[in-house]
Structure 1
């Protein structure tokens, strides 16, 4: 009996050591899904990430090996923001567990001057569900941005930009994770469009040498811009639309693959959103063929026909003959 009592503390100590939280997630480590999730430090809500905090250096102790990351989260969720996810540095920021429901992980991804904080959702039994970018830095001329997961599990994204004349434009979206549909449903959006005269086109300065590249418009607040991409069988695009007197808005930037000479399709792995662009003459017709609710209001869709705008002729410098 004494021998049993002597060895019992030793056994308990050994068992405790086996269950210790991992202090690193290097690619050569053996990691289970439970180890991966618990590597993220617990946090209370609300959790807020500002762009100013996002750009600060994160300690290497929070670094996650890409091979480890890809075991549990598809790297395709980041391809919209980073063309080469394999080159990223990934860090664990925080974790929140909703009682008997989902677990929310906050992941920081960096490459060069670009940084993104992603909100990743896992099920109660630790299965990957979905991902949404919470806040970004280094992608456009945003002057202020932040993301929040509040106590009601509402996801808030905010972005502010400066326009000509120092007028500020902002966009505040509120989402919630819809477990039944496994998507982030947009509850509301608050752009201050009443003081914004023009929509900022983030790809306006890119090249337009492709035969389909150009601006296809209905008016100044309903348009699709196509620009050259890195590959000849792709087109970079930016869509902005406003319907029902501004009550319904949508905006999306991405890269569409040319299926044939008249059809381009936008689709990202791990993302339900899909758009088709059909070209005919000087017209492009857009159709939403997959759920793009994260980029538009609930009661409207990415759809409609747009006419190609004639490119402006280059001006001839004074004193020179044509």
Structure 2
């Protein structure tokens, strides 16, 4: 992504408006920047799901997105897959195996590497199924969405004691939100962890539904607190505990 792209191969503006979402570069480039976009490649994951890779570049750096479409060419979702900023030492890339699993690898410097493996859902969302890392062990909880934008008034980290967090971040649209939940019960004997993209059902409530497992998580925001409740989320937690409880928002 450090190399300079040929301008003649860039997407024409009419194609951008027709096939790519207006929010493609939201939160990546500055408001005053006018990035250009190039096609990188495409993969047919399933009969009903196609993946297009698009790169964008501006003066501040470059980024690449995975854009998912259904078999009729309808846009579903996009995910930031790689990003380069001048002077940075982090490298991010991804590959797809024969089963259609997406492996995103992050390298920092020459020694530290992290590999996250995702499965693509029919709606274009990604489900984390495996993480491999040789990063140094750290004390505390790793929040995979911690650095994402939190401009929405309900975005932030809500906690209920050590090792219990509901992290909310801005979604691609005003009707969506990203979330990460981790909890521990009975001194670590029972734990649960889940992440995904939820939808606001009202100004103060939201819900996430997992089509594969049937898991449903409800969110209710009130003041500086969020209360969560689940239905059928046993695939993401221990048998004797559940995604439920009230969490208090921490100061940024």
TM-score normalised per structure 2: 0.58
Q: Bigger radius of gyration, 1 or 2? A: 1
Q: Which residue of 1 aligns with 2:54?
A: 107
User: How far apart are the structure 2 equivalents of 1:59 and 1:247?
Assistant: 50
Q: Which residue of 2 aligns with 1:218?
A: 160
Q: Which residue of 2 aligns with 1:196?
A: 138
Q: Which residue of 2 aligns with 1:186?
A: 127
Deviation of 1:284 (Å): 1.4
Q: Would the aligned equivalents of 2:230 and 2:244 in 1 still touch at CA under 8 Å?
A: no
Per the alignment, do residues 138 and 168 of structure 1 end up closer, same or farther by CA in structure 2, a change over 3 Å counting?
same
Q: Which residue of 1 aligns with 2:213?
A: none
User: How far apart are the structure 2 equivalents of 1:107 and 1:100?
Assistant: 21
Measured against aligned partners, the alpha-carbon deviations of 1:37-70 in whole angstroms (never above 9, x if no partner) come to xxxxxxxxxxxxxxxxx34322213211333122
User: How far apart are the structure 1 equivalents of 2:81 and 2:132?
Assistant: 17
Deviation of 1:137 (Å): 1.6
Q: For structure 1, list consecutive stretches of 5 or more residues without a partner in the other structure.
A: 1-53, 268-273, 290-296, 313-322
Per the alignment, do residues 188 and 89 of structure 1 end up closer, same or farther by CA in structure 2, a change over 3 Å counting?
same
Let me know the Cα RMSD of the aligned residues. 5.3
SS in 2 for 1:64: coil
SS in 1 for 2:17: helix
Per the alignment, do residues 186 and 227 of structure 1 end up closer, same or farther by CA in structure 2, a change over 3 Å counting?
closer
Deviation of 1:311 (Å): 5.7
Q: Which residue of 2 aligns with 1:305?
A: 245
Q: Is 1:283 aligned to residue 225 of structure 2?
A: yes
Q: Which residue of 2 aligns with 1:294?
A: none
Deviation of 1:147 (Å): 0.9
SS in 2 for 1:199: coil
SS in 1 for 2:235: coil
User: How far apart are the structure 2 equivalents of 1:219 and 1:169?
Assistant: 30
SS in 2 for 1:70: helix
Deviation of 1:87 (Å): 3.8
Q: Which residue of 2 aligns with 1:130?
A: 76
User: How far apart are the structure 1 equivalents of 2:193 and 2:90?
Assistant: 22
Measured against aligned partners, the alpha-carbon deviations of 1:57-115 in whole angstroms (never above 9, x if no partner) come to 22213211333122123334554656869943211112345797755422112355353
Per the alignment, do residues 55 and 239 of structure 1 end up closer, same or farther by CA in structure 2, a change over 3 Å counting?
farther
More helix by share: 1
Q: Is 1:74 aligned to residue 21 of structure 2?
A: yes
Q: Which residue of 2 aligns with 1:155?
A: 102
Within-5 A mapping of 1:78-97: 79=26, 87-96=34-43
Q: For structure 2, list consecutive stretches of 5 or more residues without a partner in the other structure.
A: 209-215
SS in 2 for 1:299: helix
SS in 1 for 2:159: strand
> In structure 1, which of residues 93, 116, 126 is the aligned counterpart of residue 63 of structure 2?
116
Deviation of 1:159 (Å): 3.2
Aligned residues: 226
User: How far apart are the structure 1 equivalents of 2:168 and 2:45?
Assistant: 42
Q: Which residue of 1 aligns with 2:117?
A: 173
